[in-house]
Amino acid sequence: RIAAEILDHLAKPIDGPLAGKKAVVTAGPTREALDPVRYISNHSSGKQGYAIATALSRLGADVTLVSGPTSLPQPAGVNFVQVETAVQMLDAVKSELPSDIFISVAAVADWRPAEPSDVKIKAKTTKDGLGSITLVENPDILKTISHMKGKRPSLVVGFAAETNDVEDHAQGKLERKGCDWIVANDVSGDVMGGSENEIAIIKRDGIERLPRMDKSAVAQNLALRIAENFSTIKAK
């Protein structure tokens, strides 16, 4: 680990294109408790978010990775904050602001059980054998950060994991959330948990489609586009 950190510091250019920029990246799933043993979660492995945090760091950015539960090792050279729920994730992101860049890669649960129980819930059956869980909406982290007054990062990027009508859903998400870019990916196949990804970057003025590639290559491509974005702003 120490050797890895030294190598990482050597790999991180002091004068990289993102030197002096702070980035906050979220990754992984969130887990929303039903009771002390049961939860609602999703198949996100965290691989894409971890790779993006590393790629931004390699370009010189000061990166904080806010991660839900994953089985991945902490990337070296990146500040690491472990969380479990969507509410904890939003709190962790807010406490990292101000930041220049925010990238919301985590597969945040939209809903959580309304009243998680302190003790293991006993299964109760109605006449027709049905039960139900009442849910409340989780805070929308991407939308909240996109609308922060004063502290809004100058570049806010969301991910849209979709199984169908990927780009249409992503376009809608860009409008609804108020972020700058949406990275759309189709998770109908084996992307979640897999090592490859195929993305489209949707901006207000157009779409760029990237071919299917390794998640670390996706991360490097995205990090380079972010660096270009800042150099373009600087040049204006």
Q: Which is nearer to its own copies, 21 or 173 (CB)?
A: 173
128 is in an annotated binding site: no
Q: Provide, rounded to whole angstroms, the least separation between the CB of residue 27 and its own copies.
A: 15
**Closest Cα partner for 95 from 111, 79, 106?**
79
207 is in an annotated binding site: no
Q: Is 229 known to be catalytic?
A: no
Token pair belonging to 209: 């489609």
Amino acid residing at 15 = D
C-alpha pair distances (Å), 213 with each of 6, 20, 26, 210: 28, 29, 21, 8
214 is in an annotated binding site: no
Q: Provide, rounded to whole angstroms, the least separation between the CB of residue 3 and its own copies.
A: 25
Q: Provide, rounded to whole angstroms, the least separation between the CB of residue 197 and its own copies.
A: 14
Binding region for its own copies (CB under 8 A)? 34-44, 71, 107, 109-111, 114, 118-120, 123, 125, 129-137, 161-164, 187-188, 192
91 is in an annotated binding site: no
Q: Provide, rounded to whole angstroms, the least separation between the CB of residue 126 and its own copies.
A: 10
Q: Which is nearer to its own copies, 115 or 228 (CB)?
A: 115
Q: Provide, rounded to whole angstroms, the least separation between the CB of residue 62 and its own copies.
A: 31
Between strands 101-104 and 62-67, the pairing is: unpaired
Q: Which is nearer to its own copies, 80 or 111 (CB)?
A: 111
118 is in an annotated binding site: no
C-alpha pair distances (Å), 54 with each of 76, 122, 148, 214: 8, 44, 26, 14
Token pair belonging to 92: 């962790």
13 is in an annotated binding site: no
Question: What DSSP character marks residue 147?
Answer: T
Token pair belonging to 219: 């991360």
* Separation between Cα atoms, residue 7 and residue 235, nearest integer Å: 32
| CA dihedral over 93, 94, 97, 102, signed as positive or negative | positive
Q: How far is CA 72 from the centre of its chain?
A: 15
* Separation between Cα atoms, residue 149 and residue 141, nearest integer Å: 14
List 42, 79, 221, 229, catalytic entry: 42
Q: Which is nearer to its own copies, 98 or 189 (CB)?
A: 189
Q: Which is nearer to its own copies, 185 or 220 (CB)?
A: 185
Show binding-site residues.
110, 120, 139-142, 159, 173, 177
Q: Which residues participate in catalysis according to the annotation?
A: 42
